Structure 1
């Protein structure tokens, strides 16, 4: 089971697990039910999805079936999903209500703007900022209506965050979900979010497809051997030890269990080694979005 101290207290006082379960590319009722069953048994209580992933309804059905099996109820799990970039602005309220319907639950714990841009709008167009603002206003409305408990963003740079914070319509973002792992981390973004009380949540916390694999890195392997941990555990603990939330994904029972067993400490000299690895971004880059 997950260590009970790996949690984050949101501004509302509610508790959010630092270790969640990612569901990107997991599709189909059979796959989701089997995988979430293992995740719940292992101790995961936060589940991350998105409209873009096309699996909200399958997750909703799986949790309806599985929560009673594990003697849990809706309040025992934290469900988060995201606004599709194609639904920024005027379509955002309808989209969030559709996500709520798909997930078949009374409320969503955390709803994020998935991307600072909008499909069909040029990256450099000022319309992006206007659409983001419109989406945020609709999300604030949904919080006031009790449809959503908390709101946040994903893939936001400091520039995007400053724009939002200058006019947040009464509610600050509680989370910024970004690519974050030893091969890609931004100290200035980390410091800014920490200063603003915004929790960084890492997607692709184990890296992603590319020419270099973090788990094959010589230094990572050396640290894992020294600590008698898997390379994945070392990489994930590196983020958690910075109080950064993570949402690793796996369909393998062994990895589902080991990825949540992070109640250990990486020595400071080894943390510095992990910070010093050559940087390589795997996923989409929001810097180009106006």
Structure 2
């Protein structure tokens, strides 16, 4: 991992000839106009990693925002790392390239820096992103395996336009299965991770194999119990004169992961980018002093994204 004077400029190398900016901006924002405004603010703040997805239904707005920056001369394409994702209904190999090309068209990009399988679960193929039966149960697709989908992604790398590939919402067990058979190993895996779900075993495996672990919900997604109200985090924040969010995000980068945050508030976007290194004693306090263990998103169990409400 290479770190400049500023922690926020950290780039993490993969086993490929690809380095991934550790500080990333997620684009799961429902309104296209707000998406465009938020990305403009993120790029102006300094974010150089955008995380997109077919599932978010706003790739066109993301593409417009990037083009605005390129045309204004504020940013060159090569300065930006763009990830997008294959949705569950497109796992069959013959559907992978059309889905990838459609994402490229919407994003108005010739190349995608990393193309990720959004979840390991295949849904019934078709145009309906959330296929359900008459009882409201998800209709899964038993006619394709994750390994077959992975091999289809490898062919995208062979054909050009796709620099690297990865997985999201993956367990360590499933990741081991893919790494064991992959011709092209994942460059990145994207999973829920924060001080209440540090995923140390998964991180160790990723380090061993040159895979970047990227944390989504890096601030706990404002769910109960609130990571940002943890007494260990708040005490460190007071001591280093940073916000609890900045403490959590600095912790994420210093321990060797990338992270994603999403906001539509320009001040919050700037805050989330403005991180700086924590003292080593603070890193130890977070690792040893926080014992709460909570997963907020059930997607790893079902393939259906959704945060789990909890009472205080």
Establish whether TM, by shorter chain, passes 0.5: yes
Deviations 1:14-49 (A, max 9, x none): 332110111113431x21222111111111111001
Deviations 1:97-131 (A, max 9, x none): 111111111010000011111124999x9948x43
The one of 14, 38, 44 aligned to 1:10:
14
Alignment partner, residue 94 of structure 1: 98
Give 3-state SS (helix, strand or coil) of 1:97's partner.
helix
C-alpha deviation, 1:189, in angstroms: 1.1
State how 1:86-165 maps to structure 2 within 5 Å.
86-90=89-93, 91-120=95-124, 127=142, 130-165=144-179
8 Å contact 2:9–2:22 — kept in the other structure?
no
Deviations 1:56-86 (A, max 9, x none): 1110111111223253221121110111011
Q: Distance between the aligned counterparts of 1:174 and 1:3, measured in 2? A: 21
8 Å contact 2:118–2:168 — kept in the other structure?
yes
The one of 200, 206, 209 aligned to 1:196:
209
Instruction: Tell me the C-alpha RMSD between the 2 structures.
Output: 2.3
Give 3-state SS (helix, strand or coil) of 2:220's partner.
coil
Q: Distance between the aligned counterparts of 1:287 and 1:87, measured in 2? A: 19
8 Å contact 1:142–1:148 — kept in the other structure?
yes
Q: Distance between the aligned counterparts of 1:106 and 1:219, measured in 2? A: 45
8 Å contact 1:42–1:257 — kept in the other structure?
yes
The one of 283, 294, 299 aligned to 1:271:
283
Q: Distance between the aligned counterparts of 2:110 and 2:124, measured in 1? A: 32
Q: Distance between the aligned counterparts of 1:37 and 1:222, measured in 2? A: 33
> Unaligned stretches of 5+ in structure 1?
none
Taking structure 2 as the reference length, the TM-score comes to: 0.84
State how 1:132-281 maps to structure 2 within 5 Å.
132-168=146-182, 170-268=183-281, 270-275=282-287, 276-281=290-295
Q: Distance between the aligned counterparts of 2:121 and 2:148, measured in 1? A: 12
Give 3-state SS (helix, strand or coil) of 2:221's partner.
coil
Q: Distance between the aligned counterparts of 1:196 and 1:287, measured in 2? A: 25
Task: Kindly report structure 1 stretches of 4+ aligned residues shifted beyond 3 Å.
Answer: 1-5, 120-123, 125-128
8 Å contact 1:51–1:83 — kept in the other structure?
yes
8 Å contact 2:113–2:164 — kept in the other structure?
yes
Give 3-state SS (helix, strand or coil) of 1:259's partner.
helix
Q: Distance between the aligned counterparts of 1:35 and 1:69, measured in 2? A: 17
Aligned residues: 284
* 175 and 41 in structure 1: CA distance in 2 versus 1, 3 angstrom threshold: same
> Unaligned stretches of 5+ in structure 2?
126-136, 304-312
* 228 and 70 in structure 1: CA distance in 2 versus 1, 3 angstrom threshold: farther
